[in-house]
Structure 1
Amino acid sequence: MDRKEVIDLLSKKLNGDLKISYDHLAVLTNYSKRQLIRLSKSLNEKGIDSTLKHGNKGLAAHNRASNDEIDFIVNFKKLYPNITIAQFRDIYLEDIIFNPSRKEDVSKYNLKPRSTSFFQRLYKEYKWTSPVKHRSHKRDSPLHLLREKSPRAGMLVQIDGTPFDWFGNGQRFTLHMVVDDATNDILAGWFTKNECMYGYCKMMELLIKKKGIPLAIYSDKHTIFKSPEGNITSFGVMMDKLGIEMIFANTSQAKGLIERYNGTAQRRLPNDIIRFKIKDYDQLNIWFNDFYIKYLNEKFAHLPIDPVYEFVELTENYDLNLVFTVSNTRKIVEGNMFSYNGYYYVPYDKNGEVVKIRTSTEVTILYFVLENKVRMKYIGIIYDCTLIGTKHKNKQVLINDHKDLNNLIQEMDKKTKGSH
């Protein structure tokens, strides 16, 4: 399609012989909508001959999109039904245009690097929806003043948990994530079914092994970080062991950076899970930390104001398992057992023999969070423990009528028979 053909199309549109939108014409010709409207005005005022002579200013006929190129992009978009314009363009450029293995497709369909505005026109023409709606800022709307960022990497890191259906299968998992306040670098992340201490401990372990110990942590007032009574939590004790100061935000707005990154993760990660063929959360946890963090940081992170590095490196042979440990006291009950979190445990020595301790003796119970193991400390010695049963609580049942009572008796009868 040359310039004359474009002007001919516009002429037919103006005469009512062709029903086509300016947005559709912009996609087909790679002229901007504004240029096409200007050409239409020239056609109305000066006619075809004059417009043909003088109407080529600012046009880029050599760069117009072919039907083959448009069809290719439309088919490619089907892989990502819920994706922002920015991410779709990123994926298209990375996986198609600049991917050596797609060289034949690029040549065959005459594919070219396209601008954001090109994809915006496509979204509008094909009525694709973006999960992000950009709001226009009114002149009289209140401005939210931004605080100054930390000048040096490692001075302050922000942490938070964001639950989301990352695989689109109806199951929500929580991403525990830590971001450097000075650089916007994502430092580590860990997915678990619920927001929990283990998720944050695993996240911190990855951060410390990779970067070192930060000076301070900025978080919300979740009970993992701050108890309602104001007492230090188990996680707070762990951070205190590492010399990390904990700072709390009063509102989600006060968290700012980490909240924005939660949104970025929720918008981008599900599409990249499809793109990189991630199958489950075990694979996701490894891939997220080994590859995806670096990929996102190359797009969104920046250098700090001050190049001085505040992360403190671990000394050699430093055992983080001893840091990420919860300590409690319990009393030994009959059978050399103790109860912990609703379960009974028995301690044993390195020879596999049960450690015999007098009933009612007070012992220290250590829960090693990273290993998910319970151990007992007694007279300076730490013993491994075996889980031997659940500490059952009798539940209360409300009976409304004889039918409820009969059903309950039948259930009890089945359980009793099954235990014999």
Structure 2
Amino acid sequence: MSQKQLNRYTVISQLIEGNLTTRDAAESLGLSERQVKRLKKGVREKGPAFLIHKNTGRKPVHAFSDDLVEEIIALRKSETYKDSNFLHFQELLKEHEGIKISYKPLYNILTNAGFNSPKKRRKIKAHHRRKRKAQEGLLIQIDATPFNWFGDKQIYALHGAIDDATGKIVGLYLTKNECLQGYFEVTRQILLNYGIPTSIYSDKHTIFRSPKADKISLEEQLAGKVINDTQFGRAMNELGITLIPAQSPQAKGRVERLWDTLQSRLPVEFKIAGITNIHEANQFLLSYIPKFNENFAVEPANSKVAYTPLREDLFIDNILCFKQIRTIDNGGVFSFKGRHFQPVSNGHTAYIPPKSLVEVLISPVFGVRVKYKKAVYEVVPFIKPKKTKTPTPAKEKSTYRPPAHHYYKYGHELWPKLSFAESNSEILQMLEEIFLKKDA
């Protein structure tokens, strides 16, 4: 008998002996008087065995078979699944092994077998949590995280963006390190799949915000001094997106929590899919994003979408790129990074007036282009002919001789006495004596 059953037997025995009333026994056991009367009758007729449940020691009909439990434990020990957390392991069992099991029994099986979930549990600190935005597309949180995604001790940076209203991933892109191109590719996914969001929430990385922005004084601002946008900031301005800098990592907590989830799940997903490099990973992420959103995204408070559809005349490749101003020379050529380029149109040299300012567009997507007014031209490399230098006869070296009125002419007999050991005060005193004697 369990301790609870023993306690019941003691109380019912006291009731049978007349030491307790039915009401007192019911209050003591937390049961109704009707239930106490039933237990009293059963103990009188069958003894203490009546208090033992009939299923005690019997295996439930719906219990998992020993073979299934051993299979689950063996899979959890395998190289493929050993790094997954319990919830992710439950999803992987259903997706790849055809084993459908609820989280609680799976948790009991794994903990009884001595497994601990690799998902770290930190003590939750009480803090005010900002409410989600009401509409999808009102605010996108963007960030990057370095991590060992392939288990080869090589760190790569995953760039990502998450919608504040729904918790939906709207872009993921992996590069060797945190860079402008990574954020441009994430933005490209947002624009092509959803449209133009109202605002983007980022940290104060120099990709988003010039380090000089915090150093400009109020007087300089009133005098009209401005800080130029970064390349990313300039692109957001062209798209009409408001770029909001966060004051702390906690302020953009939704994307920070996303990194915890992806760092736990993606390495396992990559291992199952046999992915070991960035190119394969970026292809995989395009199909992984919808699957992730199906599990974790929530419905917004307002079903109306705040994304602005892309206009047909808006070429995002010419916006999500690096831009600089250059000048066309008399030969219709401009230079950039030590190289020369010539604008072309339909296979022929494009005419741009000499001394005109043009905008050079650089991107891994299309290479180099040039924009003049509203027209964008392709470019071809141009090799300028080298200038032939005619040798000039060597000039005879002439010795400089100071004029007669130079101060060196006065008191020159004192200069040989000067040495590096003399102090500055002694040198100054000597020069004063020379100049004073000269003036006299």
TM-score band, normalised by shorter chain: 0.5 to 0.7
Q: Is the 1:155–1:214 Cα contact (8 Å) retained in structure 2?
A: yes
Pairing 1:384–2:379 present: yes
Which moved further from structure 2: 226-235 or 365-374? 365-374
For residue 264 of structure 2, what is the aligned residue in structure 1?
A: 267
Report how far residue 56 of structure 1 moved.
2.2
Match of 1:288 among 285, 304, 310: 285
The alignment partner of 2:144 has SS state of: strand
2-side partners of 1:120 and 1:162: how far apart?
30
For residue 396 of structure 1, what is the aligned residue in structure 2?
A: none
For 1:143, give the aligned amino acid.
Answer: A
2-side partners of 1:120 and 1:302: how far apart?
25
For residue 115 of structure 1, what is the aligned residue in structure 2?
A: 102
Pairing 1:81–2:78 present: no
2-side partners of 1:345 and 1:131: how far apart?
55
Pairing 1:369–2:369 present: no
Residues 381 and 88 of structure 1, relative CA distance in 2, 3 Å threshold: closer
For 1:252, give the aligned amino acid.
Answer: P
For 1:316, give the aligned amino acid.
Answer: E
Q: How many residues align structurally?
A: 320
For residue 240 of structure 1, what is the aligned residue in structure 2?
A: 237
Report how far residue 119 of structure 1 moved.
2.7
Report how far residue 198 of structure 1 moved.
1.1
1-side partners of 2:199 and 2:267: how far apart?
31
For residue 311 of structure 1, what is the aligned residue in structure 2?
A: 307
Matches within 5 A, 1:4-83: 50=49, 53-54=52-53, 56=55, 61-77=60-76, 78=78, 79-83=80-84
Residues 279 and 71 of structure 1, relative CA distance in 2, 3 Å threshold: same
Report how far residue 384 of structure 1 moved.
0.9
For residue 346 of structure 1, what is the aligned residue in structure 2?
A: 341
Residues 266 and 59 of structure 1, relative CA distance in 2, 3 Å threshold: farther
For residue 195 of structure 1, what is the aligned residue in structure 2?
A: 178
Which moved further from structure 2: 55-64 or 71-80? 55-64
Report sequence identity in percent. Answer: 32
Q: Is the 2:361–2:371 Cα contact (8 Å) retained in structure 1?
A: no
Report how far residue 188 of structure 1 moved.
1.4
For 2:318, give the aligned amino acid.
Answer: L
For residue 250 of structure 2, what is the aligned residue in structure 1?
A: 253
For 1:122, give the aligned amino acid.
Answer: I
Q: Is the 1:157–1:181 Cα contact (8 Å) retained in structure 2?
A: yes
Q: Is the 2:368–2:379 Cα contact (8 Å) retained in structure 1?
A: yes
Could you list the per-position Cα deviations for residues 287-341 of structure 1 after superposition, in whole angstroms to 9, with x for gaps in the alignment? 212x21110111110110011111011122431122223332245799987554x
Report how far residue 194 of structure 1 moved.
1.3
Runs of at least 5 residues in structure 2 that lack an aligned partner in the other structure:
1-47, 214-226, 385-440
Report how far residue 383 of structure 1 moved.
4.2
The alignment partner of 1:293 has SS state of: helix
Residues 372 and 383 of structure 1, relative CA distance in 2, 3 Å threshold: closer
Report how far residue 370 of structure 1 moved.
5.5
Q: Is the 1:158–1:218 Cα contact (8 Å) retained in structure 2?
A: yes
2-side partners of 1:117 and 1:329: how far apart?
62
For residue 128 of structure 2, what is the aligned residue in structure 1?
A: 145
Report how far residue 178 of structure 1 moved.
1.0
Residues 349 and 144 of structure 1, relative CA distance in 2, 3 Å threshold: same
Pairing 1:124–2:123 present: no
The alignment partner of 1:174 has SS state of: strand
For 2:297, give the aligned amino acid.
Answer: A
1-side partners of 2:182 and 2:55: how far apart?
60
Report how far residue 85 of structure 1 moved.
0.7
1-side partners of 2:348 and 2:264: how far apart?
54
1-side partners of 2:364 and 2:251: how far apart?
30
Residues 117 and 51 of structure 1, relative CA distance in 2, 3 Å threshold: farther
Could you list the per-position Cα deviations for residues 114-137 of structure 1 after superposition, in whole angstroms to 9, with x for gaps in the alignment? 332333233333433422133455
2-side partners of 1:368 and 1:158: how far apart?
26
1-side partners of 2:382 and 2:70: how far apart?
61
Report how far residue 354 of structure 1 moved.
7.8
Q: Pairwise CA RMSD of aligned residues? A: 3.2
Superposition TM-score, scaled by structure 2 size? 0.65
Superposition TM-score, scaled by structure 1 size? 0.68
Report how far residue 272 of structure 1 moved.
1.1
Report how far residue 172 of structure 1 moved.
1.9
Report how far residue 58 of structure 1 moved.
11
For 1:283, give the aligned amino acid.
Answer: E
For 2:134, give the aligned amino acid.
Answer: P
Report how far residue 353 of structure 1 moved.
7.4
Q: Is the 1:201–1:369 Cα contact (8 Å) retained in structure 2?
A: no
Point out the structure with max Rg over C-alpha: 2
Could you list the per-position Cα deviations for residues 374-405 of structure 1 after superposition, in whole angstroms to 9, with x for gaps in the alignment? 2344686634143989xxxxxxxxxxxxxxxx
The alignment partner of 1:349 has SS state of: strand
For 2:194, give the aligned amino acid.
Answer: K
The alignment partner of 2:207 has SS state of: coil
Q: Is the 1:213–1:313 Cα contact (8 Å) retained in structure 2?
A: yes
